Chains A and B, each alone.
Chain A
Amino acid sequence: MRQIITSAVVWIAACVIMVLWLGAGKPSAVVGLFLVSGLAVGSLYALGGIGLVVLYRATGVLNLAAGAIGMAGVMFAWQAVQWGWPQPVAWIAGLALSVGLALGYGRGVAPRMEWREPVVKAVATLGFALVILGVVSFLFSDDPRKFALPTDKSAVMILGLRVTVTRLIVIALSVFLVVAISIALNRTRIGLQMRALANNRRLSALIGIPILRVETVAWGVAGLLFGLTGFFFGDLVRLEPAVITFLVIPCVAAAIAGRLESLPDVLMGGLTMGVIESLLTLSPQLKNVRPVAPFVIAALVLLAMNWRRRISITGEE
């Protein structure tokens, strides 16, 4: 808990410094608009990052196909709505496709590389992402399309910005998931097994932990999280297969901000990245480099956490 409070202080301090620096001389109402706008984007980074960390902690796979898995789900949900399916059925079908894709990879491909280096596992998922993107691009023309949820119509005013209920749901969902998954990992048997696997795969196998079953659960949960991320990206960002596929990149940055293990840090890091990226719009000199903000922050976190440590390509000290 103490560590979480320390992290929160650091992340909030980073935001405050940026607000004071970039918002200097600007009306506070304008700065407030960009602050709230950034929180809305940052919550999406955090949501994606949470799924990545859950899977990485249990299986050691940094899944770069997270965006593509979510994208396939939301594209299918959109298509199902066009076919006239009732919206809730279409949403569930889309999420089910995402879970199915994650489970298919988790059971079919991932076990064949279980003893390979983390880098190899990550690159393999990139290949999977490109396969999904290729298939979806083949099946769907590049016509403009929009994915909307009924909650887009309702909104509340926060610091002068109209924030839709969908965005509030994303923020609430991110917070809820961090709490729920943290409890599940610490209090349930499967959570214990996941932590054991993340800690030492060889020893876990020796003491009889059912690795395949635990990993399947992890891939399924992660698939659902990727599906939800794609679902909300499709609604709140844009419904373009390539854009959603590669939005995994800032999500990876958010996951790194949580050192690939701390879910509260992923949440706070993701929100901070969104806020700083948004606030940079206020600077005429820096606004063109806004998209690199998440990576600069992730790089700073990496530098801080690896201070005076030696890490090999396999990730082992």
Chain B
Amino acid sequence: MKTLVTAGVGAIALMLCASAASAETSCGMNTGEAATGAPIKVGGIHGNAAPGDFSASTTAAAAYFDCVNANGGIHGRPIEYLVENDQWNPELAAQAASKLLDDENVVAIVGNGSFVEMAVNANTYRDKGIMAMASACAVSECFESSNIVSTNQGPLPSTIGAAQYMVEDKGAKNISCIGLAIPNVGPWSCGAMEWYMTSNDLVGSTVLLNPASPDVNSGLLEAVASGADTILVNLPAGLAIAFLKAAEEQGFGDAYQWASSTPLYDKTVPEALGEYWDGKIYVNAELTPWDKGGPDATNWLAVMDAYAPDGAARDTFSQSGFVSAKFFVDALLAMDPGQLDSREAVTSAITQIKGATSDLLCGPYYVGEADRHMPNHAGTMVLVKDGGFETVRDCYEYDSPYFEPIFEQEKALGIR
């Protein structure tokens, strides 16, 4: 009996060890020793105020940096991560950059997430010779600037990806894109979708919704009047749900095919949409699905569990912040330790990132020296189903005339 009990206890202990091992984190040098040297200052800016919270990316980056610091840091030196909130205010965004770049003298910016910050600070980053490894970008300046590179896709590739799926797998011939009436967001991303459609001898059109207008019905009617067979919603989640509710009111759920860019890939969306949209709306995911698994996906969740505050989001922006921070740390570890306080040397190390991979991304990540950066242009398509999401097309690369200069960059870097 005693042997049985001992064996039982042993088995339980082994299971506990195995479960602990499965949740073990892997960060940086993985020494298990806390870094104690002089800190390396790194900045991050997010937007968190009504009506939206984009802080998930910097929260995940901070968790990864904490994990790195607890595991030997960067050759014994911890990363001091200084995060500012622009509160969606351009003036505060400029002040945040000034504080980080001039007062704190950070060597790089990592994990940024904002609608405002990148548009305001893109030229500052270029003039100050600093690289921003952003994670939650949404405006054109984020992807068409020399000193910003984002891990997430933003609305343009995600919209094209959704349109491409609807054309290739669902036979869409005429797509109406519903975007925000903000020049560097809606017209930019929906315009590229139209370009994709016309380049394939198909029809694309754009309906722009003014976020200040409560009337989404008129936008819906405009999309219907365009003669579209597919309506592609390219809006922030709250507005997208309002738009889909108006469509539900009109009973359009089965009359058209429905697709969306990434904002609707959010755990709370299926419940907010309700049963009506179950199995009806296809959503593009910029990074791999949360439950796909893989070493980085497992590590991301383990790091979040161990180092992030309780209740921190485990969403696409969180994945993106984690990946940006990981690639940044890998770049620092590959540097000459004597150069870690040099912004110029760190910028150079970041621009040399090439062909980095992660199971959280569908394609390779790179930076390079260029006037635009959009390394992430491959994604996954999911369907809103049974209160969650079901993958309907795994990792696929987007194809559109917009990406031609990017493909040329990739050829020059030898990764295509």
Contacts and interface: CB of A to CB of B under 8 A. Distances in A.
B314 to A, nearest CB: 13
A143 B268 contact: yes
Contacts of B53: 141-142
A274 B272 contact: no
A146 B217 contact: no
A41 B214 contact: yes
Interface residues of B, number: 35
A152 B332 CA distance: 56
Interface stretch (A55-63, A188-196, A199-207, A238-246): A238-246
A38 B268 contact: no
B394 to A, nearest CB: 26
B410 interface: no
Contacts of A290: 210, 213, 215, 218
Contact of B272 (A145, A241, A246, A278): A145
Interface in A272-317: 274, 277-278, 281, 287-288, 290-291
Interface string A125-141: 00000000100010001
B306 interface: no
Contacts of A239: 238
A233 B214 contact: yes
A17 interface: no
Interface stretch (A3-11, A29-37, A261-269): A29-37
Nearest to A44: B214
A interface residue count range (under 10 / 10 to 19 / 20 to 34 / 35 or more): 35 or more
Contacts of A87: none
A291 B237 CA distance: 21
A278 B217 contact: yes
Nearest to A130: B50
B210 A241 contact: no
B51 A281 contact: no
B239 interface: yes
A36 to B, nearest CB: 9
Nearest to B218: A281
A219 B212 CA distance: 28
Interface in A11-41: 30, 33-34, 37-38, 40-41
A70 to B, nearest CB: 13
B218 A278 contact: yes
Contacts of A247: 214
A94 to B, nearest CB: 18
A143 B266 contact: yes
Interface stretch (B8-16, B75-83, B98-106, B219-227): B219-227
Nearest to B252: A162
Contacts of A246: 212
Nearest to B224: A33
A177 interface: no
A158 to B, nearest CB: 12
A288 B218 contact: no
B262 to A, nearest CB: 13
B51 A240 contact: yes
A287 B49 CA distance: 29
Nearest to B52: A142
Contact of A162 (B51, B208, B251, B273): B251
B37 to A, nearest CB: 37
A148 interface: yes
A237 interface: yes
A209 to B, nearest CB: 38
A103 B241 CA distance: 33
Contacts of B337: none
Given A155-B249, A238-B238, A240-B51, A146 B272 contact: yes
A250 interface: yes
A291 B221 CA distance: 17
B223 to A, nearest CB: 11
A241 B214 contact: no
Interface string B231-271: 00000011111100100011100000000000000101100
Given A41-B215, A164-B249, A242-B51, A144 B237 contact: yes
Interface of A: 30, 33-34, 37-38, 40-41, 44, 133, 137, 141-146, 148, 152, 155, 161-162, 164, 233, 237-243, 246-247, 250, 274, 277-278, 281, 287-288, 290-291
Given A146-B241, A240-B51, 4 more contacts: A142-B50, A144-B238, A243-B238, A247-B214
28 contacts: A30-B221, A34-B221, A37-B217, A40-B217, A41-B215, A133-B50, A141-B53, A142-B51, A143-B272, A144-B268, A146-B245, A146-B272, A146-B274, A161-B250, A162-B249, A164-B249, A238-B216, A238-B238, A238-B241, A238-B242, A239-B238, A240-B238, A241-B50, A250-B214, A288-B181, A290-B210, A290-B213, A291-B213
